[in-house]
Every structure is written in structure tokens, then in C-alpha cells.
Amino acid sequence: MNDCQNAKIRDQLPDLLHDRLGADERAAVLAHVESCADCREELELLRAARAMLQAQAPRVDVNWVVNALPAATQRAVTVQRRRPVWADWRIAAAVTLLVAGGGSFAVLRQRQAPLATSSAAVNTAQVGVPAHADSVAVVKSPTVAPTPSERTVPSRENVVVSEAGLGSGRLGDLTERQLAKLLEEMDQLQATPITDPEPVSLRVGGDDGSTGLEGA
Amino acid sequence: MSHAAHDAAGGAGRESDDQVDAELIARWKAGDDRAATALVERHAAALARFAVASGERSEVDELVQDTFVRAFNSLGGFRGESSFRTWLFTIERRLLLDRRRAEKRRRDRHEVQEGDAATEYDALDSVVADETQRRLRAAVERLSPTQREVFSLRVAEGLSYKEIAEAVGTTEGAARVHYHNAMRAVKEFLDE
């Protein structure tokens, strides 16, 4: 049994056998095989070998195999059950971050307030009209009406400034609008906290008198 | 035409097969157990053929079952970079090697020698009447293990050299060389 010298055609004979050639290639290979006794002989050998290899394999019981497989339905149910648990943790983490972050921000503001004499927030509080209703809350005592002099120098306890409207850290002190904004912000929070802290540079005794902690 | 182009041109049927597999896998992941049955029906026979061609004579059905169980347990990690069938062959071959190593450790015996293989074929001769098939069987059995694997995947399954290389963990060029060496050896045996 001789080998045809056309290696490319010989390489394609198994593909011809399995009908895996494009139309043009198939026509070219068939044309060669018709004129080449060696390739015809090799193609017959391939047919016989395929039949032998297919015949010697035992029949596999498909149902027996399938019964050992993991059930697809169990996988689907498992995935559905996991989602609420994960969502609960996300909400819990978001609330914790908000309360802790809000408390820290309020403390920071209290320390900065004496130095920030030209704060826009204080000016807004002096006239009693918030520049941004969402970000400034004026809390009045229910029993003592403020006099004009009291209004011009508001105490820090009376003015709560927070980007999130949560400067005091007490949910009970918030208005309905602030609560609504808080909930909206909670919806936008990412579940995973940032692991790396923002870089900061500490500047002590700056020329403008600020103590600022600034982002780098 | 280059070999790569040849593989690409010959891949039209495979793309269709791959697409059917991908759809069945997606259905199974969505909770359709019947998709698993369809996948097993499509590939079980090929896995059994490959097992036997690789020299496995006993518990072929268990090997096929183990292959599917392992495949379905890690189907979430299947990215479709190779065809599903090629991926199954890879898993089965790994299981086969593990099984042989365990067997070798347990019995500390030699690999199956040519004489042993001939004895097994003698037992099969009563059902294989065709003389050509009997001689072909003997010729294939005398190939090296890698040649046998490559020859089987190329001739019985019609895999491309690229797919064969993925399945048996070699290069495309090496797969081609193994195939042609195997074909030459088979011819020489039949000519004796």
C-alpha cells in the first residue's frame, strides 16, 4: 500500500470521510481521489478503520449516565435562594457605613466650625433660608423662640450641615425629605467598600489658617 | 491552502455542532434537565470509542459516566474556548491516566503487552468475522498509546489536528506527525 505524494490531499481524506470540507475543497479532493489509486485505497482503509473503531466500543446506557449527573433544577433553585441573603448583607453594610461615616463627619465639622468663620452654611443659617434645602437643616427649639441676636450667632448644636443630611447621626432628627434622600443614597451605594483609603496630606498651620485635611 | 485554512474550511460542520452544544449547555444551566440527556446522547458513544481506542477494556461505561459527572460539575467553568466534545475528551483522557496510575500502583504490574492485546483480540474474533477488520484492529492496537489516541480521534471522530492537540495535550504539528506515522504503521502491518 503506497502513500500518495500529495500530502495536502492525504491530510484532508479524514475530513472528506466525515463530510467536513467546504464545497470547493470537497470537489477538489474528490477529483484527485478519482484519479489517484493510492488515495482511493487510503480512503477505503479509513472507512474500514472508522467502522472498526465504532464497532468495538460498547454501548453506553444514557439514562444510567444521566442519573448520576447533578440536577440542573437544584442549581437554579440554589442560585435564587442566595440572592436575598446577599442583598440583606449589602443593606446592612450600607447602613453601618452611613451611620459611622455620618458620625465621623459631624465630629469633624464640629472641630472645624470655629475656624471656618465665613462658612456658607453659617451664612445660610443666619438668614434662616437654606441655600440648598437638601444639604442644610435648621433645627429650632420647640420651647424658646430665637431672638434676632441669637439668629445672627447660631450655636453649632442648632446648625446641622451634612452632604447626606445625616450630620447628627440620629435618624430620628431627620425630616421626611432628608430620610428620602438618605434612602436614595443607600440605593446607590456599592456593596463592597473601598479597601484602599484615599491618600491624604496633612497640613498643619497653613498660611490661610486652615488645618485642613486635604485629598492628595 | 495552508493547514490552518484547511482546518477553518473543515470547521463548518463543527461550528454547527458547537452551537447546538452551547444551546444545550445554556438550557441546562437555566434548569432544563432534559438538556443534559441530550448532551449525553450526543457524546457518550464518542467517549466510549475513544476509551476503547485508548486501550481501556473494562468498565468503559463507568469511565464515560465519570467523565460526564466531572464535566457537568465544572460546567460553570467551561468557556467554550474549545468544543464541548474536545473538552470531554480531555477530561476522559485525564481520568483514564489517573485510573491507570492507580491500577499500576495497586497491582504493580507491567503495562499491557502486545501478547496480552492479541489475546484479547482472540476473544473478540468470534464476533468479528470480517478479516480486514480483525487485522485492522490488531494494527491499531500495535500503535503507540499517543498514536492510537490521535488516530482514533482523527479517523473515528473526524477531529481537526487543532482539536486533537487540545484533547491529548500536544501541539497541532505533533498531532499531524503522530497521525501520519500511525497511518504508515497501519499500512505496513496490513502489507505484511
| Chain B residues near residue A4 by CB distance under 8 angstroms | none
Q: How many domains does chain A fold into? A: 2
Q: What whole-number distance in Å separates Cα of residue B84 and Cα of residue B18?
A: 7
A74 or B185: which carries more pLDDT confidence? B185
Angle CA B103–B99–B156, to nearest 5: 125
Least confident of A20-29, A68-77, B95-104, B136-145: A68-77
Q: What is the architecture of the domain spanning B3-109+143-191?
A: Up-down Bundle (1.20)
- Is A214 inside any structural domain? no
Does residue A170 share a domain with residue A120?
yes
Indicate the range of A12-16, A55-59, A112-116 predicted with least confidence.
A112-116
What is the average pLDDT across A34-55? 94
Q: Looking at the structure, tell me whether residues A178 and A90 fall in a common domain.
A: yes
Classify residue A68: in a domain, yes or no: no
Q: Which of B124, B137, B158 sits opposite A15 (nearest CB)?
A: B158
Under 8 Å CB-to-CB from A64, ≥6 apart: which residues?
B61, B65
Closest Cβ–Cβ partner in B11, B13, B52 for A56: B52
**Residues sharing a CB contact under 8 Å with residue A31, sequence separation 6 or more, in sequence order:** none
Say whether residue B64 is in contact with chain A using an 8 A CB cutoff.
Answer: yes
B133: pLDDT strictly greater than 60: yes
For residue A85, the distance in angstroms to the closest alpha carbon of chain B comes to: 21
Of the three residues A39, A56, A73, the one that is the final residue of a domain is: A56
**Once rounded to an integer, what is the mean pLDDT over residues A189-199?**
58
B157 compared with B78, residue with greater pLDDT: B157
Report the gap between the CA of B44 and the closest CA in chain A (Å).
7
Tell me the three state secondary structure of residue B81.
coil
Query: pLDDT tens-digit profile of B12-33?
Result: 566 788 889 999 999 998 889 8
Q: Above pLDDT 70, what percent of chain B?
A: 81
Q: Is residue A200 part of a domain?
A: no
Cβ-defined contact of B48 to A60 (cutoff 8 Å):
yes
- Across the interface, whether the CB atoms of B49 and A54 are under 8 A apart is answered yes
Q: Comparing C-alpha atoms, which of B50, B81, B76 is closest to residue A70?
A: B76
Interchain contact, A57 vs B51, CB within 8 Å: yes
Distance from the B107 Cα atom to the nearest Cα atom in chain A, whole angstroms: 26
Residue B6 touches chain A, beta carbons under 8 Å:
yes
Distance from first CA to last CA of chain A, Å, rounded? 80
**CA pair distance B82, A1, nearest whole angstrom:** 36
For position A201, what pLDDT does the model report?
A: 57
ipTM higher than the 0.95 cut: no
Mean pLDDT of A43-52: 94
Distance from CA of B142 to the nearest CA of A (A): 14
pLDDT digits (tens, 9 = 90+) for B142-152: 999 999 999 99
Put simply, the answer to whether A60 touches B64 (Cβ < 8 Å) is yes
pLDDT at A5 over 80: yes
**For position B57, what pLDDT does the model report?**
81
B5: contact with A, CB 8 A cutoff? no
- Report the alpha-carbon distance of residue A29 to residue B124 in Å, rounded: 36
**Residues of chain A neighbouring B65 (CB-CB closer than 8 A):** 60, 64-65, 68
Report field, pTM of the whole predicted structure over 0.80 = no
pLDDT of residue A130: 43
When pLDDT is cut at 50, 70 and 90, the band that residue A181 belongs to is confident
Residue A160 inside a domain? The answer is yes
Instruction: Determine, yes or no, domain membership for A70.
Output: no
The answer on A163 and A91 residing in a single domain is: yes
Q: Which of A18, A40, A56 is the last residue of a domain?
A: A56
Q: Are residues B151 and B140 in contact, defined by beta-carbon separation less than 8 angstroms?
A: yes
Is residue A212 one of the residues assigned to a domain?
A: no
C-alpha cell at A146: 430665637
Unique residue bearing C-alpha cell 467546504: A22
Q: pLDDT by residue (tens digit) across A131-178?
A: 444 444 444 444 444 444 444 444 444 444 444 444 455 666 778 888
**Which element (helix H / strand E) includes B21?**
helix B12-29
For B57-68, what is each residue's pLDDT tens digit? Answer: 888 999 999 999
A43: domain range? 7-56
pLDDT value of residue A100: 77
Structural domain includes residue A176: yes
Comparing B115 with B54, which gets the higher pLDDT? B54
> Is residue A153 in a domain?
yes
Q: Which residues of A touch B176 (CB under 8 A)?
A: 11
Interface size between A and B, measured as CB pairs under 8 A = 144
Same domain for A174 and A90? yes
Tell me the average pLDDT of chain B. 83
